[in-house]
Chains A and B, each alone.
Chain A
Amino acid sequence: MGRKAFCFPGQLQEKPILKEDHPLRTDPSLERWLEKASLQTSFDLYSFTTRGNEVGFNLKLQMATYLLSMIHFYRLQSQGWVPDVIAEHSMGIYAALAASEAITFEEGLWITESIGRILEREGRLSKGAMVSIVGLPLSDIQTIQQSLNGFCLSIANYNGSKHFVLSGAEEGIEKAISLALSKKAISATRLTFGVALHAPSLTSLRGEIETLLKTIHFRSPKVPILNHLTVQPLKQEEIRDFLAQEIGQPVYWDRCVERLIQEGVTQFVEVGHGATLTKLIRWINRDVEAFSAGDRFKEGTIE
């Protein structure tokens, strides 16, 4: 029998809507987790607002992403779903760490909020941007990078053979969109980020994040986590450093999926609100089973 991977997605790109009839709203533990989150951060998922201490759209999306991943994770866990391995994409690392019990739910939320605030501040200073380009091979993406040499664009996400995300200065990203479309990309879409996430310019934040994380005692993950940079299991003693450096390094999602398949994973469960990772996995390898827990809960195919 094949192995099962839980996959934790990165930041949502739009405000999640949990309508009255959404199955998550009948989950008896949902209110408890949301109340915990609201007490700690003042963020309310339903209204997508914070009391008093107002924060930016991206930080609210980051907190919503974390909460929804954790709520889906607890729901899967209560149904007896246990992963053999955990994979994570970008900021999905925070929920991945909490799910593997390397940190607590509260610590994960605190890290999400604290790093999010640093990124928010950085975005105000540097005016970074990101674009998702679908339909062009790596060689075309590299050509775009080279022809916009002065804008220091970097590949932030390697999501598949024809799906990449570029990070860099806002003006350069706008030019990259035009170039990508002129090279016949299927789409070139600006992401919501106001900062060039996963670009080398953010390595300057490494020291600040390391210092911030000194207050957290990281435990050994109970389920192995494949990190999105080296595509190796993340060791307890590496976690702090990984969190401090990963925001300035790319995400090799394609390699993560390929590595997991090599290691016998045949079922990928996306633990979050959307199905982005599920679709990326489908592109990387059509033979494995991949589905979004959020979608299955909605359809009622997972209770």
Chain B
Amino acid sequence: MAEVNEELIVKLKQLIITRLKLMDMTPEMIDTDAPLFGEGLGLDSIDALELVLGLEKEYGVIIPDAEVGKKVFQSVRTMAQFVADQQGRT
């Protein structure tokens, strides 16, 4: 597993805010380990589609299917781990 740094975590929080147009939020307001869907930020599948596109555009990483998506979008930390791992492979 590749190492995840704080800078990537903050950038991903910013990506979430920008892609989902959560204009009244700041990265500090998003808990790195809180669930993104349901209880946490309360995101849904339409939001997931935005995040998939955002990750592809910003980091060139692709979420191949729903199963991987479920694991990646558990929290900001799991997103960061996925991005770091994928980038480490290239």
* A186-B66, A283-B46 known; A135+B52 contact, CB < 8 A: yes
Q: Once the chains bind, are B64 and A186 in contact (CB under 8 Å)? A: no
A217 interfacial by beta-carbon distance below 8 Å: no
What bracket does the count of chain A residues touching chain B fall in? 20 to 34
The 0/1 profile, CB within 8 Å of A marked 1, for residues 1-27 of chain B is: 000000000000000000011001000
* A135-B52, A282-B21 known; A187+B47 contact, CB < 8 A: no
B48 interfacial by beta-carbon distance below 8 Å: yes
What residues of chain B lie closer than 8 Å to A121, measured between beta carbons? none
B44 interfacial by beta-carbon distance below 8 Å: yes
For B48, the closest partner residue in chain A by CB is A186
For A184, the closest partner residue in chain B by CB is B65
Q: Once the chains bind, are B50 and A134 in contact (CB under 8 Å)? A: no
Q: Once the chains bind, are A134 and B65 in contact (CB under 8 Å)? A: no
**Shortest beta-carbon distance from A152 to chain B in Å:** 25
What bracket does the count of chain B residues touching chain A fall in? 10 to 19
A72 interfacial by beta-carbon distance below 8 Å: no
Tally of A-B residue pairs with Cβ under 8 A? 47
Interface residue SS majority, chain B: helix
The 0/1 profile, CB within 8 Å of A marked 1, for residues 23-67 of chain B is: 010000000000000000000111111101000000000011110
B24, B46, B66 — most chain A CB neighbours (10 Å): B46
What residues of chain A lie closer than 8 Å to B46, measured between beta carbons? 134, 163, 276, 279-280, 283
**Shortest beta-carbon distance from B35 to chain A in Å:** 16
**Shortest beta-carbon distance from B39 to chain A in Å:** 13
For B70, the closest partner residue in chain A by CB is A187
Interface residue SS majority, chain A: mixed
Cα-based distance from A299 to B23 in the complex (angstroms): 12
Q: Once the chains bind, are A162 and B49 in contact (CB under 8 Å)? A: yes
* A184-B64, A184-B65, A184-B66 known; A283+B21 contact, CB < 8 A: no
What residues of chain A lie closer than 8 Å to B49, measured between beta carbons? 134-135, 162-163, 186, 283
For A163, the closest partner residue in chain B by CB is B46
A188 interfacial by beta-carbon distance below 8 Å: yes
What residues of chain A lie closer than 8 Å to B44, measured between beta carbons? 279
Q: Say which residue of A181, A184, A189, A299 sits within 8 Å of B45 (CB atoms).
A: A189
**Shortest beta-carbon distance from B5 to chain A in Å:** 27
Q: Once the chains bind, are B50 and A181 in contact (CB under 8 Å)? A: no
What residues of chain A lie closer than 8 Å to B63, measured between beta carbons? 186
What residues of chain B lie closer than 8 Å to A185, measured between beta carbons? 65-66
**Shortest beta-carbon distance from A162 to chain B in Å:** 6
What residues of chain A lie closer than 8 Å to B69, measured between beta carbons? 186-187
Q: Once the chains bind, are B48 and A187 in contact (CB under 8 Å)? A: yes
Q: Once the chains bind, are A134 and B24 in contact (CB under 8 Å)? A: no
Q: Say which residue of B20, B24, B47, B66 sits within 8 Å of A188 (CB atoms).
A: B66
A42 interfacial by beta-carbon distance below 8 Å: no
29 cross-chain CB contacts under 8 A: A134-B46, A134-B48, A134-B49, A135-B45, A162-B49, A163-B46, A181-B65, A181-B66, A184-B66, A185-B65, A185-B66, A186-B45, A186-B49, A186-B63, A186-B69, A187-B48, A187-B66, A187-B69, A188-B66, A189-B45, A276-B46, A279-B47, A282-B20, A283-B46, A283-B49, A283-B50, A286-B21, A299-B24, A301-B24
6 nearest A-B residue pairs (beta carbon): A187-B45, A279-B46, A134-B45, A184-B65, A186-B48, A134-B49
